[in-house]
Structure 1
Amino acid sequence: MDAFLAPSSPPQDSGYGPSGSRSRRTGQTSSEESGPLVPVVSTRYRVAYPDLRPCPVECLLGPDPEIFVRHGQDIRDGANTILAEHGLLDGPRCFAETNMEQIEGRPGTEEPTVTIVLPWLPDSKAKWTSAVQAIAIRNKELLQDTEFEDTPPRIEITAPEIVGPIYLGVVDDRPYLLQHWDHIKRVVHERLNTFDATRHFVTSVILLRHGLSPNTATNPITVYISVDRRSDEKQWDSILTNIENSLKALGWTDIRVHLEHNSPCLLQFQLLDPKGERGEILSKISKNNLVIHGEYHDNVNLGDDVSISQYVDRDDGETCNPLCGTLGCYLEIKTKTNPQWTKVGLTNYHNVRPGFQGWTIKEVDGGRSMLPLENRPSHLPSVANVWKLGTTTRLTAGKFSRFKNDVKLIEENHMSQTISNEYCFVYTHRLNDPPFSGHGDSGASVFDEKGCIVGLLFRGQVPNKAGQGGNGVTFVTPIEDVFSDIKKLTKGEITHIRVAAEN
Structure 2
Amino acid sequence: MSSSSFDSPTIIDLSGKPDPFDFARRKRARYRYTEHSSSDSSDAGTFLVSNVKFRVGAPPLPPLPVQTSGSNACALVQEALGFSLNDQAKIIAKAEGVEPLSVELVSRVTSIALFKLGFSTNYNTNPLTLAGLGEDIGPECYIKLGNSGDENRVPGLGTLGCWIEIKTIREPQWTKYALTNYHVVRPAFDGFQLGTNEDDETTVLEPVKNSDLWDVDRRGMDPRFASKKADIEHPTRAKHCFAVQVLTEEIEEDPDHPDTPQCRECLSEIKSFFDNNEQHLGSIYCASGYSRRTVNDGRLDWALIKPTGTGVARIGKNSLPTRGDWESKGYITSKPRARGILKQPPTHGLRSIPNGGSIFKVGTTTGATGGLFSQIKPRVRFVEDAHVKPYMKSQHRPYLSNEFMYIGLPEPGEPWLAKKGDSGSVVFDTEGRAVGLLFRGHMAQQATSSYAYITPIEDVFADIKAFSNSQITDIRIAEDA
Q: Who wins on radius of gyration, i.e. which is larger?
A: 1
Compute the TM-score of the two structures, normalised by the length of structure 2: 0.45
More strand by share: 1
Compute the TM-score of the two structures, normalised by the length of structure 1: 0.43
